[in-house]
Structure 1
Amino acid sequence: MTRILPGILAMAAIVVASNILVQFLFGQWLTWGAFTYPLAFLVTDVMNRVYGPGPARRVVFAGFVVGVACSFVGTQIMGEFGPLVTLRIAMGSGLAFLTAQLLDVAIFDRLRGGRWWRAPLASTLIGSTVDTAIFFTVAFSGVLTFLEPANDVSWAGEALPLLGIGPVVPLWMSLAVADWGVKLALALIALIPFRLIVGRMMARVA
């Protein structure tokens, strides 16, 4: 456990920071949390490369526990339109995180024998796509209103052009596409710190 403690602390910091920064808008379609949350995939992939899938999963579960705690705190804080974190947001966040991160671990482990960039890039791209799809669908889709009938998410279903320029779709789909785009961009950028961090950690382990 001691050897993966830095990974656990990094994951916890990212989860806490993302839960705080998601309250602040960045432009029309994003929040600041969109720029910090994808770093969770970097932490998972570094742990996977250096220590293997088992320790990586333990880091993921630690992040999940921290996320659940953050969601609970958020449900106790009242904003202008109700609690900062609704049941649907809490469910979507937890399910998306755990599913996407564990999928990331599995895909990375399957591809670990290839070129150094192949496993982190493929696992992060697929994991990020699943994460985005699960979170925004569970949290805001009108089809799942039965999950929390008292929570009015009709604002998320407002029909608008996709990202202001595309076909007319529910607002939450524009939010999802914007979030997904940031995740994909950061997946590419994160290859640089991944390479550097893994190199240093592998030298220490050796």
Structure 2
Amino acid sequence: MNRAYIPGIIAMAAIVVASNILVQFLFGNWLTWGAFTYPLAFLVTDIMNRVYGAQAARRVVLAGFVVGVICSLIGTQITGEFGPLVTLRIAVGSAIAFLTAQLLDVAIFSALRNGAWWRAPLASTIIGSTVDTALFFTIAFSAGLTFLEPGNDVSWAGEVLPLLGVGPMAPLWVSLAVADWGVKLALALIALIPFRALTARLAPAS
């Protein structure tokens, strides 16, 4: 493996581990602290893609996926107040969402890489983040997928409440998903600053 990829792999692994830990701690009514660290995975992927190409980005994604699976396996063995910290549905949802969204990010970035410098990272992150949120929350909490883990009671997530406390009535998990998605969109814009700075610094001299 190219040694130049190692910092990206370490950064991705650190983000995945930190997010798996911080997701246990609430931030307000709709978010966890992990919502603020996880979106940085898209920043790492995009920087690797811009500087080293799609193959390097996919290797970093694969490393993050493996670390995420390990974190989920560890989480299933730790019992909290309401049972295992990581249920099967959360583990499956997290794995599928991460791999699908990150690989989609790589593909979209690659297709747009020759345009304006901001277009590829912004479009790939927004679309990837949207897919990530939709897949994870649907798989982990939707009542329609109870068959994935019949013994896991997620009825609490289906409680119908005003969306984000002020909008139309919707299942609680939809509010959680919308809040998470909003943070991802905000960070997609903010991340353009470090993306521009770091790619300029890491780009090989011509």
* TM-score, length of structure 1 as denominator length: 0.99
1:74 matched to 2:85? The reply is no
Q: Distance in 1 between matches of 2:157 and 2:40?
A: 26
The aligned counterpart of 1:185 is 186
Secondary structure of the 1:50 match is helix
The aligned counterpart of 1:123 is 124
Partner deviation per Cα, 1:28-73 (whole Å, 9 max, x = no partner): 0000000000000000000000010011000000000000000000
Q: Distance in 1 between matches of 2:109 and 2:81?
A: 42
The aligned counterpart of 1:94 is 95
Partner deviation per Cα, 1:133-182 (whole Å, 9 max, x = no partner): 00000000000000000000000000000000011000000000000000
Secondary structure of the 2:129 match is helix
| 1:147-158 map, 5 Å | 147-158=148-159
Partner deviation per Cα, 1:85-137 (whole Å, 9 max, x = no partner): 00000000000000000000000000000000000000000000000000000
Q: Distance in 2 between matches of 1:103 and 1:202?
A: 23
Secondary structure of the 2:65 match is helix
1:78 deviation in Å?
A: 0.2
1:3 deviation in Å?
A: 1.0
1:185 deviation in Å?
A: 0.1
**Percent of aligned pairs sharing the same letter:** 80
Q: Distance in 2 between matches of 1:55 and 1:201?
A: 14
| 1:134-149 map, 5 Å | 134-149=135-150
The aligned counterpart of 2:15 is 14
What is the identity, as a one-letter code, of the residue corresponding to 1:31?
T
Q: Distance in 2 between matches of 1:114 and 1:161?
A: 41
Q: Distance in 2 between matches of 1:164 and 1:3?
A: 46
Secondary structure of the 1:160 match is strand
1:56 matched to 2:57? The reply is yes
The aligned counterpart of 1:65 is 66
1:198 deviation in Å?
A: 0.2
| 1:163-174 map, 5 Å | 163-174=164-175
Q: Distance in 1 between matches of 2:82 and 2:23?
A: 16
Unaligned runs of 5+ in 2: none
The aligned counterpart of 1:114 is 115
Unaligned runs of 5+ in 1: none
* TM-score, length of structure 2 as denominator length: 0.99
Alignment RMSD? 0.7
